[in-house]
Chains A and B, each alone.
Chain A
Amino acid sequence: MARNSQKPELVLMQGNEAVAAGALAAGCDYFAGYPITPSTEIAEILAEELPKRGHTFIQMEDEIASIAAIIGASLAGAKSLTATSGPGFSLMQEGIGFAKITETPCVVVNVQRSGPSTGLPTSPAQGEIMQSRWGSHGDSPAIVLYPASVKESYALTIRAFNLAEKYRTCVILLMDEVIGHMREAISLPDISEIKIINRIKPTVPANWYKHYDENQKYLSPLASYGEGYRFHVTGLAHDQHGFPTNKPTEAGAMMERLEKKIVHNIRDLVQIESYMMEDANIAIFAAGIMARAAKAAVKIARAEGLKVGLLRPLTIWPFPDDAVRKMLKNVEYVVVPELNQGQFLHELRRLVKSTTDSKLIGFQRVNGTLITPTEILQKIKDVL
Chain B
Amino acid sequence: MGKVSQRVVHNFLRHDKKFPHVWCAGCSNGTVLGTIIRAIAEQNLDRNNITMVSGIGCSSRMPVYIDLNTLHSLHGRAIAFATGIKTYKPGMKVIVVTGDGDCTAIGGNHLIHAARRNLDLTVIVINNNIYGMTGGQYSPTTPFEAKATTSPFGNFDTPFDICDLAIGAGATFVGRSTAFHTIELQKMIVDAMEHKGFSIIDVVSACPVIYGRMNKKGGPAEMMMAMRDNSILNTAAEKLPPEKVEGKIIRGILKKVDHPEYCERYAELCTKVKEMQHE
- Segment from B87-95, B149-157, B219-227 that makes contact with A: B87-95
Q: Which residues of B are found within 8 Å of A75, using beta-carbon distances?
A: 71, 84-85
Residues in chain A near residue B89, CB distance under 8 A: 76-77, 225-226
Residues of B within 8 A of A225 (CB): 51, 69, 71, 85, 89, 92
Expressed in whole angstroms, the minimum distance between the Cβ of B214 and any Cβ of chain A is 27
From A95, A231, A243, B74 is in contact (CB under 8 Å) with A95
Q: Say yes or no for A187: interface residue by CB 8 A criterion.
A: no
Q: Is A244 an interface residue (CB 8 A)?
A: yes
User: Given the known A-B contacts A32-B84, A75-B85, are A68 and B77 also in contact in the complex, defined by CB atoms under 8 Å?
Assistant: yes
CA distance A68 to B83 in the complex (A): 8
Q: Given the complex of chains A and B, what is the CA–CA distance between A10 and B14 in angstroms? A: 57
Complex Cα distance A74/B51, Å?
14
Q: A78 interface residue, CB < 8 Å from B? A: yes
On whether the beta carbons of A231 and B69 are closer than 8 Å, the reply is yes
Of residues 199 through 245 on chain B, the ones whose CB sits less than 8 Å from some CB of chain A are none
Main secondary structure of the interface of A (DSSP, over half): mixed
A275: min CB distance to chain B, Å:
41
Compute how far the CA of A241 lies from the CA of B266 in the bound complex, rounded to whole angstroms: 35
Chain B interface category by residue count: 35 or more
**Chain B, 46-64, contact with A by CB distance < 8 Å: what is the 0/1 string?**
0111010100100000011
Q: B109–A62 contact, CB under 8 A? A: yes
Do B85 and A72 have beta carbons less than 8 Å apart?
Answer: yes
Taking residues whose C-beta sits less than 8 angstroms from the other chain, chain A's interface range is 35 or more
Known interface pairs A62-B109, A80-B84, A226-B48; A54-B274 also in contact (CB < 8 Å): yes
User: What's the minimum C-beta distance from B112 to chain A, rounded to whole angstroms?
Assistant: 8
Given A61-B110, A69-B80, A72-B53, answer yes or no on A234-B72 (Cβ-Cβ < 8 Å): yes
**Which residues of A lie under 8 Å from residue B67 when comparing CB positions?**
230
Residue of A nearest to B22 (CB): A244
Smallest CB gap from B51: residue in A:
A225
Q: Is the CB of A72 within 8 A of B64?
A: no
Asked if A65 contacts B47 (CB within 8 A), the reply is no
* Measured CA separation A233–B81 after assembly (Å): 12
Q: Is the CB of B113 closer than 8 A to any CB of chain A?
A: yes
Chain B's closest residue to A56 (CB) is: B87
Give the residue among A65, A94, A229, A236 with the most B Cβ atoms within 10 A.
A65
Complex contact A51–B273 (CB within 8 A): yes
The answer to the question of B25 belonging to the interface, with a C-beta cut-off of 8 Å to chain A, is no
Q: What separation, in Å, do the CA atoms of A54 and B272 have in the docked complex? A: 10
CB distance from A213 to the nearest CB of B (A): 17
- Among B14, B87, B277, the residue within 8 A (CB) of A69 is B87
For residue B266, which residues in chain A have a CB less than 8 angstroms away from its CB?
A: 51, 56
Within the complex, the shortest CB–CB distance from B205 to chain A, in Å, comes to: 22
Is A285 in contact with chain B by the CB < 8 A criterion? no
Is there a chain B Cβ closer than 8 Å to A70's Cβ?
Answer: yes
Check B109 against A230 for contact (C-beta < 8 Å).
no
Known contacts A62-B109, A64-B77, A241-B17; is A226 also within 8 Å of B87 by CB? no
1/0 per residue A267-307: CB within 8 Å of B? Answer: 00000000000000000000000000000000000000000
Q: CB of B182 within 8 A of chain A?
A: no
Cβ contacts under 8 Å, A65 to chain B: 77, 80, 83, 109-110, 113
B121 to chain A, nearest CB (A): 11
State which residues 118-160 of A face B: CB under 8 Å: none
Tell me if B82 counts as interface (CB < 8 A to partner A).
Answer: yes
Contact B81 A72 (CB under 8 A): yes
CA distance A47 to B243 in the complex (A): 53
Q: A71 CA to B87 CA in the complex, in Å? A: 12
Does A98 lie at the interface of the complex (its beta carbon under 8 Å from any beta carbon of B)? yes
Residue of A nearest to B67 (CB): A230
Q: Could you list 5 further interchain pairs (A-B, Cβ under 8 angstroms) beyond the known A76-B85, A234-B71? A: A60-B83, A69-B81, A98-B74, A226-B49, A230-B70
> Mind listing 23 A-B residue pairs with CB under 8 Å?
A30-B88, A32-B84, A64-B80, A65-B83, A68-B74, A68-B80, A71-B84, A72-B83, A72-B84, A72-B85, A76-B84, A76-B92, A80-B84, A98-B73, A225-B71, A226-B48, A226-B51, A229-B69, A230-B47, A230-B48, A230-B68, A234-B72, A243-B17
